[in-house]
Amino acid sequence: MRKWMMGATAALAGVGLLAGCSNGSDAGGGDVTLTYGVWSQDETMQELIDTFEADNPGIHVELQVSPWNEFWTKLQVAAQGGTAPDAFWMLGDKFQVYASNDQLLPLSDAISDAGVDTSVYPEALVDLFTYDDELYGLPKDFDTVGLWYNKELFDAQSVDYPTSDWTWADVRKAAEELTSPDESVYGIAAPLNRQEGFYNTVAQAGGHIIDGEASGYDDQKTQAGIAFWTDFIADGYSPTLQEFADTEAVAQFENGSVAMYYGGSFYAQRFYDNAELRDKIDVAVLPAGDERATVINGIQNVGYAGSEHTEELEKFLVFLGSEEAAAIQAETGAVIPAYEGTQQAWVDAMPEFNLQAFIDQVPDGVVYPVSANTAAWNALEDEMLPDAWNGAKPVSEVADELAAAMNDALAKE
């Protein structure tokens, strides 16, 4: 599994990311104000800030919320222009771009000085936010991927529910049995998804997306992980890419037209809030291929290298990665907090679902594959892989061509 990791690793009125990092002390009081950029807000965020401020008199934190569809554009411009927030949320697939351009505050020394034991977080998340042996953040929350299934549809065809012992062969057998002759119900959804789809099965096959500075798409094991999905469409057990373009895969699972869906833990709250769906579905760990694996991803709190208050910023970032902060987040049930031992509140928040399945897979977590310019080869995946999903070309041919194009892109990083 380590091979996989080698490449890694409601807006507020009048407030936006471009407001930038604080540039001095508050008038008359000598206090410091830090800015904190996020893409969503609830009472938990303010509770975190209030708790930190109570323990750190003289340090104030101003929350800046930008909607998801604006957050990254604003952050890119602000980081380049020297006006980024002092602290902000970061995702693994974006991280190396900022770290490699010296826009993030190195935190290894601050984490060590604070006595933080990073083993309390999933190892894959720590690896994901490490660049050139330097750690730039502490995990906030994480998500893994599970096999969601519709119990009603399974019962109708007398198919046994998925268990932790399921393998790829079991998924395939169930998909065949659950697919109706008139295709009003498909056994499984096989969309062209990275985090929830083929990145998992590539790892389960023993393959890899990127190894150092080289593509793994020309590896036969990688190609087997892709063929896991394309075979479902070719055999008529899944809707086609065009059908997914018309109605996204998760929506087809929700409306009962597909019986199984590889979906992230982040869908738990959405499914739970759907009163008509809640009692019909459940989730299990991902079926095993040659290996057990699930993509693990999450949000980290990072700091801006251009902040004028690095000492105070380091204190805030260390707090955000603490057990106390994780416990506050766990109370909402919205996300799985990254700190070990604080996840039970999330599991208990939706007892109708076997949410423990997502926690149980943490030891099998593999890092979402990234590099310093992930966007370049992600674009190549988007451009070339549909030919395999549509059956226009064999998986091996598409993957070999993708590997060559990806290696060219990596050589330019």
Query: Does position 368 have pLDDT exceeding 60, yes or no?
Result: yes
Whether the predicted pLDDT of 13 surpasses 60: no
Q: State yes or no: pLDDT of 289 exceeds 90.
A: yes
Q: Cβ of 277: how many Cβ atoms within 10 Å?
A: 17
Which tens digits make up the pLDDT trace of 331-365? Answer: 776 789 999 999 998 999 899 999 999 999 999 99
- Inform me whether the pLDDT recorded for 7 exceeds 70: no
| Six token digits for residue 136 | 């730039």
Q: In which band, very low, low, confident or very high, does the pLDDT at 225 lie, cut at 50, 70 and 90?
A: very high
Question: Tell me: the pLDDT tens digits for 150-198?
Answer: 999 999 999 999 999 999 999 999 999 999 999 899 999 999 999 999 9
Band of pLDDT at residue 228, cut at 50, 70 and 90: very high
3-state secondary structure of 59: strand
Ordered by start, the domain boundaries in the chain are: 2-143+296-353, 145-295+368-411
Same fold, 2-143+296-353 and 145-295+368-411: yes
Residue type, 410: L
Of 85, 99, 98, the C-alpha closest to 131 is 99
For the cut 70, the answer to whether the pLDDT of residue 323 exceeds it is: yes
Q: Are 289 and 168 in contact (CB under 8 A)?
A: yes
Q: What is the pLDDT of residues 60-118, one digit of tens each?
A: 999 999 999 899 999 999 999 999 999 999 998 899 999 999 999 999 999 999 999 99
- Domain 2-143+296-353 sits in CATH at 3.40.190.10
Which residues does residue 337 pair with via DSSP β-bridges, in sequence order?
Answer: 141
Segment 39-56, tens digit of pLDDT: 987 778 899 999 999 999
Mean pLDDT throughout 211-235?
97
- From the list 310, 315, 340, the residue with the least C-alpha distance to 327 is 340
Mean pLDDT of 255-278: 96
Report the alpha-carbon distance of residue 160 to residue 259 in Å, rounded. Answer: 12
Task: Name the residue among 164, 167, 190 with its Cα closest to residue 290.
Answer: 167
* Whether pLDDT at 20 is above 70: no
| Alpha carbons 326 and 324: distance in angstroms, whole number | 5
Beta-strand relationship, 87-91 and 32-38 = parallel
Helix locations, 56-167, DSSP H: 68-81, 92-100, 108-113, 123-128, 151-156
What pairing do the DSSP bridges indicate for beta strands 294-303 and 145-150? unpaired
Percent above pLDDT 70 for the chain:
92
Tokens representing 408?
A: 């060219």
- Report the CATH architecture of 145-295+368-411: 3-Layer(aba) Sandwich (3.40)
The reported pLDDT for the residue numbered 259 is 98
Catalogue the long-range contacts made by 213-217 (C-beta closer than 8 Å, 24 or more residues apart).
213/7, 213/371, 213/410, 213/411, 213/413, 214/407, 214/410, 215/377, 215/402, 215/403, 215/404, 215/406, 215/407, 215/410, 216/403, 217/399, 217/400, 217/402, 217/403, 217/406
CA distances from 185 to 103, 171, 174, 196 (A): 49, 16, 13, 21
pLDDT on residue 18: 46
Q: Which residues contact 159 (CB under 8 A, 6 or more apart)?
A: 174, 177, 178
Q: Could you tell me if 309 and 86 are in contact, meaning their C-beta atoms sit under 8 angstroms apart?
A: yes
| In contact, 49 and 63? CB cutoff 8 Å | yes
Question: What is residue 14's predicted lDDT score, i.e. its pLDDT?
Answer: 34
Q: Tell me how crowded residue 68 is: count the other CB atoms within 10 A of its CB.
A: 8
- Give me 366's structure tokens: 């593999």
